[in-house]
């Protein structure tokens, strides 16, 4: 049998981090060998499995990624931290030569450029959403936008739990990028984020975004194509964060066999 992929998780104490721990421990082809949380986090020193609500696994939560990579033989790092932590984590992984799966959203243009630079040296999977259903939805959106063209208005509506700190979601923005590309537009020029007051008649070339935040909604995204006399909607609803965690673990297992480059879930699922 092939050796399991030795995986380190950064942001292990967060909501997604705990799901990633569980998904890694449950995956037959993965082995959790390191788990990292921010210095000062109350989870430091705890067993990662116990923190995630499953059986103790013998992996202690530590506060330093570089030290964790030095102490363990790591094949891949899964990073679902905040944007401000990404630069440091990229630097550590570049130095150690360890591939990365990155699920951090809300990146600036400078951070995306830094990601591109790191991908010249490392294999990296970067996706706004690691759900197989969302990945397929992006393909369907591209097909629909190309077929319907400028005859249909396009609106993106997304809903997430009250704790989410960025808006619109990274997934919604990725949907917007796919739609704009299929329609021959630049999203930075045509995106409209919310409407209020006397906005005037809708510009046919815009792509609208609406954001909902509340409760414990894991993630819902709907794209509406609105024409004269008909409307089409493509919707994805996630009911558990484990959907994203399992997708990220799948991506890590796929990534270790790849050469340096920047990949996404379409590559992981063979949809290119």
Mean pLDDT computed over every residue of the chain: 94
Q: Are 251 and 127 in contact (CB under 8 A)?
A: yes
CA 137, 16, 236: angle at the middle one, nearest 5? 20
Are 172 and 224 found together in one domain? yes
- Report the share of the chain in percent with pLDDT over 70: 100
For residue 181, the model assigns a pLDDT of 97
How large a percentage of the chain has pLDDT more than 90? 88
What is the CATH classification number for the domain harbouring 223?
3.30.360.10
Reduced 3-state DSSP string for 3-49: CCEEEEEECCCCHHHHHHHHHHHHCCCEEEEEEECCCCCCCCCCEHH
101 prior amide bond cis, ω within 30: no
Domain that holds residue 105: 5-130+241-268
> Residue 1 — pLDDT band, cuts 50, 70, 90?
low
Residue 107: per-residue pLDDT:
86
187/170 same-domain check: yes
Same domain, 85 and 138: no
Does one domain contain both 188 and 218? yes
Residue 220, strand partner residues: 159, 237
pLDDT digits (tens, 9 = 90+) for 160-218: 999 998 899 989 999 999 999 999 999 999 999 989 999 999 999 999 999 999 999 99
Q: Which positions are catalytic?
A: 160, 164
pLDDT digits (tens, 9 = 90+) for 6-25: 999 999 999 899 999 999 99
Q: Are 192 and 176 in contact (CB under 8 A)?
A: no
* Domain match, 120 and 249 both: yes
Mean local confidence (pLDDT), 39-49: 95
| Total domain count, the chain | 2
95-142 tens-digit pLDDT: 999 999 999 888 888 999 999 999 999 999 999 889 999 999 999 999
pLDDT for the residue numbered 3: 87
Same domain, 264 and 206: no
120 lies in the same domain as 81: yes
CATH number for the domain that contains residue 80? 3.40.50.720
pLDDT in tens, 152-162: 999 999 999 99
Same domain (yes/no): 139, 224: yes
Whether the pLDDT of residue 59 is over 60: the answer is yes
Residues 220-242: pLDDT tens digits? 999 999 999 999 999 999 999 89
Letter string b/e over residues 62-98, b meaning 16 or more CB atoms within 10 A of that residue's CB:
beebeebbeebebbbbbbbbeeebbeebbebbbeeeb
pLDDT of residue 73: 92
Q: Are residues 47 and 19 in the same domain?
A: yes
Instruction: Mark whether 163 and 104 lie in a shared domain.
Output: no
Asked if 101 and 142 sit in the same domain, the reply is no
pLDDT at position 52 is: 94
Q: What is the reported pLDDT for 106?
A: 81
Residues 247 and 113 in one domain: yes
Q: List pLDDT tens digits, range 84-108.
A: 999 999 999 999 999 999 998 888 8
Instruction: Answer yes or no: is pLDDT of 82 > 60.
Output: yes
Would you say the pTM of this structure is higher than 0.85?
A: no
């Amino acid at each position: 049998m092939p050796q399991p992929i030795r995986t380190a998780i950064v942001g292990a104490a967060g909501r997604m981090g705990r799901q990633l721990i569980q998904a890694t421990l449950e995956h037959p082809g993965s082995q959790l060998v390191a788990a990292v949380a921010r210095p000062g986090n109350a989870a430091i020193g705890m067993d990662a499995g116990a923190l995630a609500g499953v059986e103790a696994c013998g992996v202690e939560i530590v506060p330093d990624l570089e030290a964790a990579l030095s102490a363990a033989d790591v094949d891949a790092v899964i990073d679902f931290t905040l944007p401000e932590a990404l630069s440091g984590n990229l630097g550590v992984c570049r130095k150690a030569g360890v591939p990365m799966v990155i699920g951090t959203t809300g990146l600036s243009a400078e951070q995306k450029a830094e990601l591109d630079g790191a991908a010249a040296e490392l294999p990296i999977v970067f996706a706004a959403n690691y759900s197989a259903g969302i990945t397929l939805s992006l393909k369907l959106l591209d097909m629909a936008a190309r077929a319907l063209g400028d005859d249909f208005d396009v609106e993106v509506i997304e809903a997430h739990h009250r704790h989410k700190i960025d808006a619109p979601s990274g997934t919604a923005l990725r949907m917007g990028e796919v739609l704009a590309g299929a329609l021959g537009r630049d999203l930075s020029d045509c995106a409209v984020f919310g409407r209020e007051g006397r906005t005037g008649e809708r510009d046919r070339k815009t792509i609208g975004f609406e954001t909902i935040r509340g409760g414990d909604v894991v993630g819902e995204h709907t794209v509406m194509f609105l024409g004269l006399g008909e409307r089409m909607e493509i919707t994805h609803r996630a009911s558990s964060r484990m959907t994203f965690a399992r997708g990220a673990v799948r991506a890590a297992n796929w990534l270790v066999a790849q050469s340096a480059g920047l990949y996404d879930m379409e590559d992981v699922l063979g949809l290119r």
